[in-house]
Amino acid sequence: MSQAQSLYPLIEQALLCPVVDDKLALAERLLRGWRGGLLVREASPAAYALPQPGRPLRPELVHPARVPKRSLATRHGHGALLHAIAHIEFNAVNLALDAAWRFRDMPDAFVDDWLTVAAEEAGHFRLLQGRLADLGFAYGDFPAHDGLWAMCCKTDHDAMVRMALVPRVLEARGLDVTPGIQRRLAGIGDHASVAVLDVILRDEVGHVMIGNRWFVRLCRERGLEPQATFRGLLEQHAMQLHPGDYNLSARAEAGFFADELEALARLTESVSDGR
């Protein structure tokens, strides 16, 4: 990209690319080109509905109930766990690219944020790809589910809804579960993967923060109260926050409201108390 090119066709090329390594490279190149002033946002029609992004033939996509259990007692189970995380990161590349490509009435800062996220998610996938290779596996060796992209399709009509239900729900859940996964990996001596998850957790706090910031901004631009709007969207999409172990410090760093953190703390306590 030595001279100015139109941004949206290049994002679309990356989004539709079915070759994993090529998609990662395109995502990283997009950020460099954007930051270098080599990509311009030319007037273009609204993005069309995208049932599926470009993806390789493997992994086989199955219902979540059919994804194998990820016991760390065997090398296969160890690999299945890391593969599941890698699949999330691969989907996250597509989700970030889609946000930058789809919501064309958003300002340049929105594009910058989501191209940054796409490039960072590509880096996360490469780290996990390396860990899988160390165990003798490759991306595609285990079945996976398509829940993240399904939510992308459900939210493709409104940037505010996308910011609410993808970063603030699905990606924030990653903040909650990562410390427990790290403890399990440390328990079998896989400190290399723990270190990879340290990098991912640090960056994901920033990604959720980006989603929080844009959600709140869009709510306020529309005269909506953010917390009430968020609760309404959870109800509308039949999504609930269940009792569990929430990473309250990471969520606080990512910009969740104090009232939300207090409610999540009560859900955490209800598990600890056995209620």
SS (H, E, C) 122-158: HHHHHHHHHHHHHCCCCCCCCCECCHHHHHHHHCCCC
What's the pLDDT at 271? Answer: 54
CA dihedral 228, 163, 257, 224 (to 10 degrees): -30
- What is the C-alpha to C-alpha distance for residues 24 and 186, in angstroms, rounded to an integer? 28
Chain Cα centroid distance, residue 261: 21
The yes-or-no verdict on residue 136 having pLDDT over 60 is yes
CA distances from 162 to 21, 97, 127, 138, 225 (A): 26, 13, 27, 31, 17
- What is the C-alpha to C-alpha distance for residues 68 and 96, in angstroms, rounded to an integer? 27
What's the pLDDT at 275? Answer: 47
Percent of residues, the chain, with pLDDT higher than 90: 82
- What is the C-alpha to C-alpha distance for residues 138 and 126, in angstroms, rounded to an integer? 11
Planar angle of CA 193, 197, 198, nearest 5 degrees: 115
Task: Classify the C-alpha dihedral 187-198-115-232 as positive or negative.
Answer: positive
Give the global pTM.
Answer: 0.94
For 75-108, the pLDDT digits (tens) are 999 999 999 999 999 999 999 999 999 999 999 9
For 33-49, the pLDDT digits (tens) are 999 999 999 888 889 99
For 225-249, the pLDDT digits (tens) are 999 999 999 999 988 877 889 999 9
> What average pLDDT does this structure show over 257-262?
95
Q: Which two tokens stand for residue 27?
A: 């995502």
* Neighbouring C-beta atoms of residue 169, cutoff 10 Å: 18
The yes-or-no verdict on residue 269 having pLDDT over 90 is no
Burial class (CB in 10 A: 0-12, 13-18, 19+), 16: middle
Domain boundaries, the chain: 5-41+59-272
β-pair partners for 61: 144
> What average pLDDT does this structure show over 166-183?
96
Chain Cα centroid distance, residue 32: 21
- What is the C-alpha to C-alpha distance for residues 12 and 98, in angstroms, rounded to an integer? 8
- Topology of 5-41+59-272 in CATH? Ferritin (1.20.1260)
Is the distance from CB of 205 to CB of 175 less than 8 angstroms?
A: yes
What's the pLDDT at 273? Answer: 54
Specify the DSSP class assigned to residue 144.
B
Token look-up 């999504």 returns: 239
For 191-216, the pLDDT digits (tens) are 999 999 999 999 999 999 999 999 99
- Nearest C-alpha neighbor of 60 from the set 5, 140, 136: 140
SS3 state of residue 18 = coil
